Amino acid sequence: MHSILKIIKGVVIDLPRPKKIKGLWKFGSLLGLFLGVQLVTGIFLSFRYIRSVESAYGSVDLLMRDVLLGSFVRIFHSKGATFFFLFLYIHMFRGIYYYSYRYREVWLIGCVIFVLSMAVAFLGYVLPWGQMSFWGATVITNLFSAIPYVGKNIVIWLWGGFSISFPTLIRFFSFHFVIPFVLVFFIVLHIFFLHETGRKNPLGLNRKNVKIFFKPYFSINDFMGFMMVICLFIIMRFGFPYLFMDVENFIEAKFLVTPVHIQPEWYFLAAYAILRSIPKKLGGVLALVMFILMFFLLPFVRLRISILWKYLFQFLFFVWVLNFIILLWIGARSVEVPYILIGRISCFIYFFLFLFF
């Protein structure tokens, strides 16, 4: 135990960091904070959850109304997912802006963490068994049917039958409970490779004389960041507890009643907009896969390092981020004019600008 603590101290605490890294480097540690929030609150929520089509919604409703601190824990879990994905996107975009994907091991493991986080969030969104949960699961799992030859068999395997029912809920709950611990394993690997190569200096300098120790300089900085975000989190929890919750999910799932507009949580809206922008089902699925795959391909892109390219890249990057925000907005709109055209243009810009990264 002593040797493990010594290794942690040497690798995490005593390893010098570039002294020019500022606020954008706090989001990695903030992600660790909110992952802990999600794990703890998720375990407590599992104590009261009933994995049954007939009782799942009722157990969540009972938790919110009658269980001591039940609504407190559930809203914390829901808001924690919102903050986790917000910081995850900022963390990834910061990595793109400062060419952090040059560290291939760190970046690729981070991309795996991104995919696992999306999977956990989707599975957890299904568990309350509300209208949007049920129909969102129906739409997303049906995407696998677009795979030639084996697609329908995959969908039946995911469902555990010929429709979403009790076996589906059991499987989703099991995966939602287990995958976060796999996620923790990859985060440990991510941190290990990060401290093996060192953090990226925004000035591009890696000399020892521009580095300082993590403690006390960055530890105090991170602690202040924790306090600010926790205050914002508490304000959101008590001031706007249902801000990002869909009203359809306060209605128990009905197999014969389809919501007027099916949409996922806000952190999936960009991917959902890209999926809808392609008229053909298979084309939409391929575009959705490319939405994620593009991040995996970045470490293998040849870098342009001229001064002129640097300023052009910065301009294109902020255009790309603005376009990403437009995709988030389009994903929440109905499939009608003019949103269809805007979505297709934004989808094209998203992939086209990636070629310049």
Mark whether 34 and 144 lie in a shared domain: yes
Looking at residue 325, which CATH number applies to its domain?
Answer: 1.10.287
Instruction: Give domain status of residue 258, yes or no.
Output: no
At 252, give phi and psi (nearest 5°): -60, 145
Taking alpha carbons only, the member of 345, 316, 330, 352 closest to residue 96 is: 316
- The answer on 267 and 244 residing in a single domain is no
Q: Residue type at 184? A: V
Q: Tell me the β-bridge partners of 17.
A: 212
Q: How many domains does the chain have?
A: 2
- Which residue, 225, 252, 279, sits at the end of a domain? 252
pLDDT value at position 10?
47
What is the pTM assigned to this prediction? 0.88
- Considering the domain boundaries, does residue 257 fall inside one? no
Question: In three state form, how does the secondary structure of the chain look?
Answer: CHHHHHHHHHHHHCCEEECCCCHHHHHHHHHHHHHHHHHHHHHHHHCCCCCCCCCHHHHHHHHHHCCCCHHHHHHHHHHHHHHHHHHHHHHHHHHHHCCHHHCHHHHHHHHHHHHHHHHHHHHHHHCCCEHHHHHHHHHHHHHHHHCCCCHHHHHHHHHCCCCCCHHHHHHHHHHHHHHHHHHHHHHHHHHHHHHHHCCCCCCCCCCHHHEEEHHHHHHHHHHHHHHHHHHHHHHHHHHCCCCCCCHHHHCECCCCCCCCCCCCCHHHHHHHHHHHHCCCHHHHHHHHHHHHHHHHHHHHCCCCCCHHHHHHHHHHHHHHHHHHHHHHHHHCCCCCCCHHHHHHHHHHHHHHHHCCC
* CA dist., res. 84 & res. 86, Å (int): 6
Give the separation between CA 323 and CA 228, rounded to whole angstroms: 28
For residue 44, being part of any structural domain is answered with yes
Amino acid 98: pLDDT: 85
Residue 186's domain comprises: 2-252
pLDDT of residue 300: 84
In a domain, 37, yes or no: yes
**In this predicted structure, what is the pLDDT of residue 214?**
58
Q: According to the model, what pLDDT value does residue 199 have?
A: 54
- Residue 78: CATH number of its domain: 1.20.810.10
**Residue ranges for the chain with pLDDT beneath 70:** 1-24, 196-219, 302-308
Residue 110 lies in a domain: yes
> Of 204, 233, 252, which residue sits at a domain end?
252
What pLDDT is attached to residue 135?
92
Question: 10 Å Cβ neighbour count for 48?
Answer: 14
